[in-house]
Every structure is written in C-alpha cells, then in structure tokens.
Structure 1
Amino acid sequence: MPVPAPNLYPPFNIVRLSHVEYGVRDLAASRAFWVDTLGLQVSYEDDSRIYLRAMEERGHHCVVLAKAETPDVRVLGFKLWDDAALDTAAEWFAARGLPVAWVERPHMGRTLRTADPMGIPLEFYVKMDRLAPIHQQYKLYKGVKPLRIDHFNMFVPDVDAAVAFYGDIGFRVTEYTEDDESGKLWAAWMHRKGGVHDVAFTNGTGPRLHHTAFWVPTPLNIIDLLDLMATTGYVTNIERGPGRHGISNAFFLYVRDPDGHRIEIYCSDYQTVDPDMEPIRWSLTDPQRQTLWGAPAPRSWFEEGSVFAGVAPQEALLKAQPIVAP
C-alpha cells in the first residue's frame, strides 16, 4: 500500500480547514453568484473585498472575494488549536526552508503566512472575529443553503509527495486512488476534522486549486440549486452532477463561478475520527471511483483549475489516464 502510516502526534495541532481567498474580476457579478444564488452570507464588504460565511459558521468568514485583474487564488487558510501551535508551526516551516512571515489579516488575530513545498500559499491562525450564530435564522437560508466549508481539492504534480508532506503535519488519509501499473498515488483524500477530507490531491498540472466544497443539508438542496441556476442565467455554469461519488460516498454537484472557480456542493460523507481507521483503496480504472453510478467526469474536470497567485504550475509526473466522459 503506497499510503504512509498516519502521524497521530504531529508537531502542531491543525483543527480544520478554514477559508479561501479568491481573486475575482467583477465583485458585483461574484456577489450575485456567491450570495444571491449559492446563498452564502455577507459578513463585511467594501469596494475591494467581500467576506462571506456559511450558515453554521461562527467565524467571520470562510470565503474572501478580492477584486483582481485576473482570476486566481490568494491563500488557503487553516485554524490551529492554540498560540503555542502557531509558534511551533512557524519554527517547523522555517526549519524546512519554507517561507515564514507574520502578516496582518482583517478580522483575524496573529496569522502565519507560509507555503507548502509545491508552492501552495497557506496561512495558519488561532483567532478569527466571532459572529453571532445565524443557523436558526431560517429567513436567511437561500440558494443551496450552505452550512459550512468542507474541503479543498488541489491539482498537484506529485500526489505521493503531497501526501507525505501533509501526513507529516497530521492529515490522515481516508481514501486513495492508486495507479495499478506504477503503484503510484493518483489521488488522495486527507482529513483533520473527522470527515472524509479537509484536503484532497488530484494528479495533474499544478499546484492549482481544483475546487472548494461546501456542505449542505440534503441532496434536495442540490436539486433546488440546479433549478435555480437553470432559470437565472447560470445553466452553463453547471459542470458536473448531480451524482454520488464512490470515493467518500458523498452526493455532489460541481458548478463554476463567473471567473471559472470550481465549487463543489456536497453532503452525505461519513465519520473518520477513529485513529486506527484503514484507508480505502480505489483503482484508477474502477468506474465507480468517480461516481458510484458509473458516470465518468467531463474532461474539464481533469484539466481546468484555478491558479495560485504568483505560482507557476508544473506538469504531472504521473501520466496515468483516468476514465473521461466522451
């Protein structure tokens, strides 16, 4: 099995993924999609940025939309357990020759900015402004009724290397896809918070962000979103689904925002908190890996992604070919 043993005692304690910042060309168009259509809530906005949160979240934001000349991804954020973990993280990244800087971030406390060995920009923090709960303000629910941010999926040129690095800092593999011929990892799903994943890595030109996912109450919410998008000018923004993944068992839908950033709407995965849980292996040639019902993904799903600002993607080392829809 190519998956390394989990590190149950990592150098610092990552609680969960937290937030993503996107560069977008037109804030008004992005607001119409993310707020009026998907249903995220505005925490704060001005002429240059919009801060959004989902319905169950108490932190100030899970998405930042920043006005930009060209679409990109600025940073992926993660919450740490305490200030001691934050200091240890800074020392750990610096010892490996990775960039370390303490940055000022609106609505957040002390924040460490760094990057992984592939160049993915990361930030770690402990405290974010806390907002009043809104999960029982049912008049606010609209769109797909997003409850919380769930995971990031990244294209990377070397999935084995990504899994080794994130495993060192405590992410545990729940499921993985293996190329039968080479024995190399083609994709892997890794978690901190006890779901199937906080981060996932897909073989491809990278690093690029494949998608950010949001958890919703039921599959019926996804059907409602499809009806809404199909009748409000967004039918071409529907990329893939609805369906049920073989990997993760989740009911899913993939859509694209006005800048092409991919969003997964997601529910119905399973609990993974046991430290001795064995990862599930999938063959790259298994058609039920992508979709339990056997439907393959479109070519765009394997080839298109959002670039990280200032990071030049590299071609994938593994040339194995997944099943692609005709």
Structure 2
Amino acid sequence: MPVPQHVFDPPFNIVRSSHVVLDVVDLNKSVEFYDNIIGLHVEDRDDTTAYLRGSEEHQHHSVVLRKAEQSAAARLGFKVGSEADLDKAGSWFAEHGVLYSFVDRPFQGRTLHVTDPFGFRLEFYATMDKRPHLLRRYERYKGCHPQRLDHFNVFAAETQDTIDFYARLGFRLTEYAEEDGDGGRIAAAWMHRKGNVHDFAITNGKGPRLHHFAYWVPGPLNIIHLCDVMASRGLALERGPGRHGISNAFFLYVRDPDGHRIELYCSDYQTMDHDHEPLRWSLRDPRRQTLWGAPAPRSWFEQGSPFPGQEVREPVFVADVVIAD
C-alpha cells in the first residue's frame, strides 16, 4: 500500500504529543501508582482529577487522571504552535466535515476538542501553565525517573486511511511494517512531529483503542529498577524488559490499576532531517517487535483502552504477522 509523502506545509502546526487524559475508577489508587511506582510528579489534584508530569517537563501536566465509573482513554493531547493554529485547525476540520468544539480546560486554557473520522478523541492547545522543571531535583526522583511523555500508540481498524489522514496533518513517517509482495498492506506506522521516531504510532487492530502511551526515561537501568520496584510491590510486568527492532527502543510495558498500558522507553534516534527515509519492516521479520527479549503475551496484541462513546470495529484486514518465539 502507498507510503505517505512528507507534508512540510500542513494546514496547522502540531508541535508534538503532549498529554493523555485517562478515565480511572479509583483515583487514589491510580495516583499512588503513577506517583510512587512510576515516579511522575503530582502538580495538582482534587477529589475528581489529578494532574501529573515528568521531571523534564515545564508544562503543568502530561497525564490527567479523571475519576469515572468506567475506565477509558478520554483524550489524546497535542500541542500546537500558536493560538492562530487552533483557529486554523478548527477551520480545517470544519472544511473536512469533522465536528469540533472549543472548550476551556484547567491549566491549558482554550482547547480544541475533536473526534477524528476514525473515532480517536483528541484535544489541541497552544499554551499550558508552566512549572519549574525538576530535572536537577534528584531528591524527588522515584520509580523509573520518567522524564517526559514521548508518544501514543493506537489500534486502528482502518490502518491505511488513518495513516493518510495524519500524514495530511504533517505527521512524517519514520518506520513502517508491511506485508511482502505486490500490493502488500501497511499494518503499522510510526509517525512523528518533534524529530524522534514517533509521536503517534498507528497499529492494525480492533479500533479505535489506545494501545499505550510512553514515557522517556534516562536509560535502561531506570527500566530495570522499575522491574525491581514493581516486583517488590507484588505487581506484574506485562512485557519486557527487551529491545524492539522498530525504533531501537529499550522497553518495558506495564499496566496501571485500570488496565491502561504504559511503556517506559529509551534509546531511539533523531529523524528531523527533511530527507529522512522511512525504514520498512517486513511482517515476516520477528526482529521488528522483539530484537531480543521474551515474546509478547497475547494481551499485548489484543487488549487496549477504548475511547468513550466510540464503537470498537474489526480491522479492515487481519495481518499475517510472524511473532518472535
């Protein structure tokens, strides 16, 4: 299937992935997990909502936890370049028949809410309240010392159409997994705005669902330390540690108390050159998922967080994937 061309003059300027809004059933339990086990920092909270961030982040939050009756991925948040870009985004979505609304959100002000044509619920903002970064406040480090939110990965039922849509918004392809032979279909794509491997990864599967969101950590030893922390608490690891061929990432996947999946991640590479060529992976090559490490469990392929009010659809095709033994 076609590899999308880079778009260097998108209709509005998306700077990067910024934050995720999660619905959680037990707010206290979730805050305990993200604060004391993962190691994010609580900036503000009340009885219904908590805001947390990584130690490198100046922005007020990169995870919002909202108390709800059912767990869900409420919104994926992206930062745009300016207030004018918010208006350009609204105009573009209106022109293309996508419903949107402007709302006011705590600590980030005017925010554009939109559900894309594939059911992913997004929000865009230009300016968020700032906080002093905590990078040198080592006495406050806990867990795996997460530095910053890095990317989202989603299950998409219409993989090619979803890839093409986000390419039009300026997301540039860095790596992709494709069937071999004439007419081979793309089963997954890694796309970026900020100049590393990805801000947004699109994976073939039952969707729309959030597969995971990821935090960058300083190095592999931080991930190993989190394994020890979770084991000492009697908590299970879903997958890893290991290394992906895709993105070269050293990784660990864990689940929060509501089942939302978090990746702790380091060791990818820069992709900001305008002539950066996307790397193709064959679906028959097991190294793309697991360069080394234990094979992924069934849950990693099948489970994800739904978006509120969005029907989960079967994928357009079922990819013939070789999985590492």
Sort the TM-score into its range (normalised by shorter chain).
Answer: over 0.9
Corresponding residue number in structure 2 for 1:261: 260
Corresponding residue number in structure 2 for 1:210: 211
Which whole-Å deviations, capped at 9, do the CAs of 1:3-32 have from their partners, x for residues lacking one?
A: 111111111111101111101111111112
Q: Which runs of 5+ in 1 are unaligned?
A: none
Corresponding residue number in structure 2 for 1:31: 31
- The question of whether the paired residues in 2 share the 8 Å contact of 1:52 and 1:63 is answered with yes
The SS at the match of 2:238 is strand
Shift of 1:296: 3.2
The SS at the match of 2:214 is strand
Corresponding residue number in structure 2 for 1:155: 155
Give the letter aligned to residue 278 of structure 1.
E
Shift of 1:115: 1.6
Shift of 1:293: 2.1
Shift of 1:189: 0.1
Corresponding residue number in structure 2 for 1:225: 226
Corresponding residue number in structure 2 for 1:201: 202
Give the letter aligned to residue 56 of structure 2.
E
Shift of 1:57: 0.4
Give the letter aligned to residue 296 of structure 2.
A
- The question of whether the paired residues in 2 share the 8 Å contact of 1:219 and 1:251 is answered with yes
- The question of whether the paired residues in 1 share the 8 Å contact of 2:206 and 2:314 is answered with yes
CA distance in 2, matches of 1:175, 1:267: 17
Which whole-Å deviations, capped at 9, do the CAs of 1:34-90 have from their partners, x for residues lacking one?
A: 101000000100000110000000111000011111110111110000111111010
The SS at the match of 1:220 is helix
Whether 1:176 aligns to 2:176 is: yes
Q: Which runs of 5+ in 2 are unaligned?
A: none
- The question of whether the paired residues in 1 share the 8 Å contact of 2:242 and 2:292 is answered with yes
Give the letter aligned to residue 186 of structure 2.
L
The SS at the match of 2:12 is coil
- The question of whether the paired residues in 2 share the 8 Å contact of 1:299 and 1:324 is answered with no
Count of matched residue positions in the alignment of Structure 1 and Structure 2: 324
Task: State the superposition RMSD in angstroms.
Answer: 1.2
Whether 1:104 aligns to 2:104 is: yes
Which whole-Å deviations, capped at 9, do the CAs of 1:281-325 have from their partners, x for residues lacking one?
A: 001110101011275322111100000011111000111232346
Shift of 1:158: 1.6
CA distance in 2, matches of 1:217, 1:8: 31
The SS at the match of 1:288 is helix
Residues 272 and 279 of structure 1, relative CA distance in 2, 3 Å threshold: same
CA distance in 2, matches of 1:286, 1:248: 15
- Where in structure 2 are the equivalents of 1:1-326 lying within 5 Å? 2-180=2-180, 182-234=183-235, 236=236, 238-293=237-292, 295-324=294-323
CA distance in 1, matches of 2:256, 2:229: 14
- The question of whether the paired residues in 2 share the 8 Å contact of 1:298 and 1:325 is answered with no
284-293 vs 173-182, greater mean Cα deviation? 173-182
Task: Report the TM-score, using the length of structure 2 for normalisation.
Answer: 0.97
Give the letter aligned to residue 154 of structure 1.
V
- The question of whether the paired residues in 1 share the 8 Å contact of 2:57 and 2:133 is answered with yes
Q: How many percent identity over aligned positions?
A: 58
- The question of whether the paired residues in 1 share the 8 Å contact of 2:213 and 2:261 is answered with yes
CA distance in 2, matches of 1:323, 1:296: 11
The SS at the match of 2:109 is coil
